[in-house]
Amino acid sequence: MHEGLVALLVAVRIVVPGWLWTGPSCDRSGSTPPRADWLTTAGRAIALGLMLNLLPALCVAQYGAWTPVVDWVLWCLVVLAGLVRSRGRFTRRYAAGAGYAIVWVALVTGVILARPPRSEWFAGGWDPGLYQNEAAAIARADGFVPRTDSVYARLTAEERPLFGYQVFPAVPVDRHSGAIGFYFFQLTPMCGAWMVRLGGLDLLSRMNQVLALVGLPVVAALAGLLGLAGWRRVAVVAAWLVSPLWWYHQAIPTSEMLHLVLLVGAMVSYLEAERNGRRYPVEAALLLMAGGINHFGFPPLAAMMLVVSAVAESVAQRPGRVGRLLTCMMALACGLAWDLIFSPVTIQMLEVKDGVLPLVLLPFIGFLVTGYVVSRRGVYPRLVVPGVTLVRWGAMVVGVLVIGLSVGLSFSFIEPTLLRITGRLPLVGEWVFRFSRFVPFHRAAWFVLLGVGTLFLVHDRSAGMSRVRVVATALAGVVALLFLNPGIAPIYPWAFRRYIVFLLPLMAVVAGAGLTLPVRMPRMPAWTGRPLGVLLMTALCLVGGKASRRAARVGDYVGLREVLSVLNEKIPLGAMVVADDPGTGTPLLLLHGRDVFEGSRLWKSRDPEYQARYVAVLRRLQAGRRILWLTSTDHGMNLYPSLVGSVSPWMEPVTGVYRTVIHSPNADEFAMREHARQFQLYVWDEPDMP
């Protein structure tokens, strides 16, 4: 019963504002609203509705004002503004789309909540656990206000450097005040906090599953606006559904599933605005801005796609193209500005690590200028035919290479030679090597069929497929850049998260649209084309379905949440904890709001002077509060130096058994390993008095 109410609440919160704000009466010319099928209506309502819940909440959360009451007031104001904007002009068809969307979101969310979670990744140390723990901390603090009442605020200026400027990895602490802040760009943690408010930790631990499956109508809407109707639209959704990477990432609580909804939703809104000749696609702009807030690296990649669109629209002389381009570019710039203003700690860390500012800002400015010039002045006529020819031949080469490499890499006796030969070629070697990491997870046959779909798309020159070709070209350009410099450690399948946001839409559109083309090719007899199209799509579904089943079975840390809850209940109010591992220390700090020190700094140190100073600070703090030591290995307190002194068990040991996905540079399948760890709390005895 509880799960059903939460599911219905999520559906109403998302769909109602999205439906009102995407109403057909948004065209203020007074003309008859354009007809939209219910899937397109549902997809647009879901994407925009999710964003309209998150952005207002994000604004007030900066000042610690995102209370439950304020959250509902904001939602009501957004709904009221949507009613005013739509003026109540809704067709029966459009209202039906909203009804279907509510049923879909409620049904999917309810089923996911009724099933055991695939992951409970609350362990710290890695991005997924930090996203989850930050979300809980934001919900508890009513926003992104740094925590100022922790034990770190009681440390002196001389003591604070002993414990570093991160309480745990990616948990920053201000070196002057001791306030504990937040890492990461803000939209995904905000989405997690929003889900905590609606459905607690049960919904939070299933966040990416909900976002992934709830977003399927957005994919169907994209296919429809690309001109793919009937079973060709079904084919695009089917290609999306049988991607193992999509199923795998549903269990990894990072930013990618939210990002997919925002990107595909922005593409849907932009295509709808371009089809109707609107100069200012407000929906697309808001979704693109949200994408920029979600990840600092998104704006230059989205800007590159807008440049490709600007070229295509200039060649076709589409009205309103300059306004559309500038509106979307300014929205992306607003996303960048938000990150620079409200996520300075994250920007500083990435700048030190990767030099991120010039890598993001310079390409974005270049694409902005290029897009504006192309939209305003058009494409030089003599360049149109050679440009189209170059793109067609490039796509043909890519299709052939994907087929050839997939076949070659599927044989263990050919793969080393193939990688050695291609590795000698500049750029090509890097692309081939990174592609080779996808093949064992996604299966060679999947990519062979993708290459076949690419060749069919190249062969087809009909005007009805022009939008598909433009979108595929834009996505392929971004994927090529990511293959050249993904900017992530080559640990698999973890590293695939860097590609999936753009690669998954590309594969779904190309495979779904390309493999169904034989059905409608004029030179191919009906008795040949239709069976061939059905055969190709059936093969894709069989190959992808088998690989996807394996990906859908993996998950991380199921059962750890219960262990953390037991430990938290055993810790007295006001006690401080020294945790030997960030995996348990981070959730106690952020999820449960405890005062926690990173004990690994002490047990890893070989400097007796540092150890003595560390212990002396703890002894000073012990004068007013109890200190507990949390161990999570068989070594127990033997990890620590002897000067720690005597401790006494505070509770019976708790054994946690859970599984995690195997991540490795050499991994070639979705697999898990089991962990059995013993957690124990010790109370620190008072020092012996002389």
Say what percent of the chain tops pLDDT 90. Answer: 73
* pLDDT tens digits, one per residue of 183-235: 999 999 999 999 999 999 999 999 999 999 999 999 999 999 999 988 899 99
Within-domain flag for 289: no
Residue appearing with tokens 């979307």: 328
Residues 6+ apart with CB under 8 A from 437: 490, 492, 495
Q: What is the mean pLDDT of the chain?
A: 91
Q: Where are the alpha helices (DSSP H) in 623-668?
A: none
- What burial class does residue 401 get, using C-beta atoms within 10 Å of its C-beta: 0-12 exposed, 13-18 middle, 19+ buried? middle
Within-domain flag for 244: yes
Beta bridge partners of 664: 492
* pLDDT tens digits, one per residue of 284-337: 999 999 999 999 999 999 999 999 999 999 988 889 999 999 999 999 999 999
Domain C-terminal end among 252, 268, 284: 268
Within-domain flag for 129: yes
Q: What pLDDT was estimated at residue 139?
A: 97
Beta bridge partners of 222: none
Q: Are residues 91 and 233 located together in one domain of the fold?
A: yes
CB atoms within 10 A of CB 408: 18
Query: What whole-number distance in Å separates Cα of residue 252 and Cα of residue 297?
Result: 20
What single string gives the DSSP state of each residue in 398-452?
HHHHHHHHHHHHTSTTTHHHHHHHHTTSTTHHHHHHHHHHHHHHH-HHHHHHHHH
For residue 146, which of 186, 179, 185 has the smallest C-alpha distance? 179
Tokens of 136: 């809980």
Query: What whole-number distance in Å separates Cα of residue 466 and Cα of residue 311?
Result: 13
Domain C-terminal end among 379, 397, 427: 379
* pLDDT tens digits, one per residue of 11-55: 999 999 999 998 754 444 444 445 568 889 899 999 999 999 999
Q: What pLDDT was estimated at residue 680?
A: 95
- pLDDT confidence bin for 176, thresholds 50/70/90: confident
- Give one word for 393, left, alpha or beta, with left for phi > 0 and alpha for psi -120 to 50: alpha
Helix (H, G, I), strand (E, B) or coil at 595: strand
The pTM (predicted TM-score) of the whole model is 0.94
Q: Are residues 114 and 233 located together in one domain of the fold?
A: yes
Lowest mean pLDDT among 89-93, 180-184, 240-244, 439-443: 89-93
Beta bridge partners of 492: 664
Inter-residue contact 121 to 155 (CB < 8 Å)? no
Q: Is the peptide bond before 493 cis (omega within 30 degrees of 0)?
A: yes
Phi, psi of 176 (to 5 degrees): -95, -45
Q: Are residues 565 and 636 located together in one domain of the fold?
A: yes
Query: What Å distances lie between residue 473 and 305, 314, 409, 457, CA to CA?
Result: 8, 16, 25, 11
pLDDT of 368 over the 50 cut? yes
Q: Are residues 579 and 505 located together in one domain of the fold?
A: no
Q: Are residues 581 and 488 located together in one domain of the fold?
A: no
Beta bridge partners of 209: none
Q: What pLDDT was estimated at residue 26?
A: 45
Tokens of 422: 């291609």
Q: What pLDDT was estimated at residue 570?
A: 94
Tokens of 679: 């957690």
Domain C-terminal end among 361, 379, 397: 379
Q: Are residues 89 and 115 located together in one domain of the fold?
A: yes
* pLDDT tens digits, one per residue of 614-647: 999 999 998 878 999 999 988 889 999 988 889 9
* pLDDT tens digits, one per residue of 93-135: 677 788 899 999 999 999 999 999 999 999 998 999 999 999 9
Q: Are residues 352 and 431 located together in one domain of the fold?
A: no
Residue appearing with tokens 């999306």: 240
Query: What whole-number distance in Å separates Cα of residue 585 and Cα of residue 273?
Result: 49
Q: Which amino acid, residue 29? A: S
Within-domain flag for 49: yes
- What burial class does residue 399 get, using C-beta atoms within 10 Å of its C-beta: 0-12 exposed, 13-18 middle, 19+ buried? buried
The range of the structural domain enclosing residue 479 comes to: 384-547
Inter-residue contact 660 to 673 (CB < 8 Å)? yes
Q: What spatial distance separates the first Cα and last Cα of the chain, rounded to whole Å? A: 63
Query: What whole-number distance in Å separates Cα of residue 588 and Cα of residue 583?
Result: 9
Within-domain flag for 419: yes
pLDDT of 595 over the 60 cut? yes
Inter-residue contact 628 to 684 (CB < 8 Å)? yes
Contacts 24+ apart (CB under 8 A), 229-236: 231/516, 232/512, 232/513, 232/516, 232/519, 233/39, 233/512, 235/511, 235/512, 235/513, 235/515, 235/516, 235/537, 236/508, 236/509, 236/511, 236/512, 236/513
Query: In whole angstroms, what separates CA 81 from the centre of its chain?
Result: 29
Inter-residue contact 587 to 124 (CB < 8 Å)? yes
Q: What pLDDT was estimated at residue 98?
A: 85
- pLDDT confidence bin for 650, thresholds 50/70/90: very high
Beta strands in 69-221 (DSSP E): 166-168, 171-172
Within-domain flag for 191: no
Q: What pLDDT was estimated at residue 89?
A: 63
Q: Give the pairing of strands 647-649 and 672-684.
A: antiparallel
pLDDT of 359 over the 60 cut? yes
Per DSSP, 111 falls in state H
Q: Give the pairing of strands 647-649 and 576-579.
A: unpaired
Q: Are residues 102 and 20 located together in one domain of the fold?
A: yes
3-state secondary structure 318-353: CCCHHHHHHHHHHHHHHHHHHHHHHCHHHHHHHHHH
What single string gives the DSSP state of each residue in 518-576?
GGT-TTS-HHHHHHHHHHHHHHHHHHHHHHHHHHHH--S-TTHHHHHHHHHHHSPTT-E
Q: Where are the alpha helices (DSSP H) in 485-525?
A: 497-514
Query: What whole-number distance in Å separates Cα of residue 267 and Cα of residue 457?
Result: 20
Mean pLDDT for the stretch of residues 260-271: 97
Inter-residue contact 312 to 268 (CB < 8 Å)? no
Q: Are residues 122 and 256 located together in one domain of the fold?
A: yes
Q: What pLDDT was estimated at residue 427?
A: 82
Residues 6+ apart with CB under 8 A from 372: 322, 325, 326, 329
Residue appearing with tokens 């002009």: 89
- Give one word for 664, left, alpha or beta, with left for phi > 0 and alpha for psi -120 to 50: beta
Q: How many domains does the chain have?
A: 4
Q: Are residues 316 and 429 located together in one domain of the fold?
A: no
Q: What pLDDT was estimated at residue 523?
A: 64
298-316 and 466-484 are packed helices; what angle lies between their axes, rounded to 10 degrees? 150
Mean pLDDT for the stretch of residues 402-406: 94
* pLDDT tens digits, one per residue of 487-506: 888 999 999 999 999 999 99
Within-domain flag for 290: no
Tokens of 285: 């702009």
Per DSSP, 600 falls in state H
Tokens of 254: 């990072």
Helix (H, G, I), strand (E, B) or coil at 224: helix
* pLDDT tens digits, one per residue of 136-163: 999 999 999 999 999 999 999 889 888 8
* pLDDT tens digits, one per residue of 329-338: 999 999 999 9
Say what percent of the chain tops pLDDT 70. Answer: 95
Q: Are residues 491 and 564 located together in one domain of the fold?
A: no
Q: Are residues 539 and 568 located together in one domain of the fold?
A: no
Q: What pLDDT was estimated at residue 524?
A: 62
Query: What whole-number distance in Å separates Cα of residue 107 and Cα of residue 128?
Result: 26
Within-domain flag for 424: yes
For residue 441, which of 414, 406, 476 has the smallest C-alpha distance? 406
Tokens of 628: 């507990």
